[in-house]
């Protein structure tokens, strides 16, 4: 069974998907971390982050896998390096590259073979797993998402800088030529602006149980 969650940056998809997977006994698959791994590799290799051809060439050679619930890049655990301002600055642009999206989609589908999963991202319900048994679209205002990210304490950016960054990310995600952020026709829409993580999880689990 596949439970798919889509939504914009900073809406809490990772936290919610992880919690649902734990409660349902499913495997949690974070699609965004696959793109982040490619961006991390691009930057570490000294590749021009605006050189699409070199980024694609590098991405095609990478082995991105999940071991013990953590992202590994060519056999090395890189989980703790994925959510940094350095990666944040480029991951949206890199994930907009059509060939990169194809590479990640193939990797995600391979990872999801023969297991029950909860997957989240920005085109999970529309492109990666269009036939998922359950589809949800999580949403929240930019203001709420910026505050949430600020309170996490993982960024050195000010609240205003985070607001501007998330707004820019939304514009990129919604205007990608392939895999753009949109609500699937058969997805259940959930505005999480005024809901706690537990409340959102409860709503999702109730739908699954129904």
Tell me the domains of the chain and their CATH numbers: 2-202 (3.40.50.300)
pLDDT tens series, the chain, 210 aa: 999 999 998 898 888 999 999 999 999 998 889 999 999 999 999 999 999 999 999 999 999 998 888 999 999 999 999 999 999 999 989 998 999 999 999 999 988 887 899 999 888 999 999 999 999 999 999 999 999 889 888 788 999 999 999 999 899 888 888 778 899 999 999 999 999 889 999 999 999 888
Question: Looking at residue 45, what DSSP letter applies?
Answer: T
Q: Which residue's structure tokens are 């907009």?
A: 96
Report the alpha-carbon distance of residue 52 to residue 201 in Å, rounded.
Answer: 38
Q: Which residues of 135-154 are buried (b: 16+ CB within 10 A; e: fewer)?
A: bbbbbbebebbbbbbbeeee
Cα 21 to its chain centre, rounded Å, is: 15
pTM tops 0.85, yes or no: no
Q: Are 45 and 176 in contact (CB under 8 A)?
A: no
Report the alpha-carbon distance of residue 57 to residue 89 in Å, rounded.
Answer: 20
Closest CA to 59 of 94, 110, 85: 94
């Amino acid at each position: 069974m596949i439970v798919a969650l889509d939504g914009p940056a900073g809406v809490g998809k990772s936290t919610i998907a992880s919690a649902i997977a734990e409660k349902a006994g499913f495997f949690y698959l974070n699609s965004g971390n696959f793109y982040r791994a490619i961006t991390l590799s691009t930057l570490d290799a000294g590749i021009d982050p605006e050189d699409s051809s070199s980024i694609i060439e590098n991405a095609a050679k990478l082995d991105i896998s999940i071991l013990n619930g953590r992202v590994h890049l060519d056999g090395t655990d890189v989980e703790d390096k994925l959510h940094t301002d350095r990666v944040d600055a480029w991951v949206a642009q890199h994930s907009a590259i059509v060939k990169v999206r194809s590479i990640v989609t193939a990797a995600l589908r391979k990872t999801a073979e023969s297991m029950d999963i909860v997957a989240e991202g920005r085109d999970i319900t529309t492109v990666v797993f269009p036939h998922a048994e359950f589809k949800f679209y999580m949403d929240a205002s930019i203001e709420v998402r910026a505050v949430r990210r600020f309170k996490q304490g993982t960024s050195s950016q000010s609240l205003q800088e985070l607001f501007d960054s998330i707004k820019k990310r939304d514009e990129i995600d919604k205007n990608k030529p392939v895999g753009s952020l949109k609500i699937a026709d058969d997805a259940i829409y959930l505005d999480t602006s005024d809901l706690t993580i537990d409340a959102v999880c409860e709503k999702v689990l109730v739908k699954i149980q129904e």
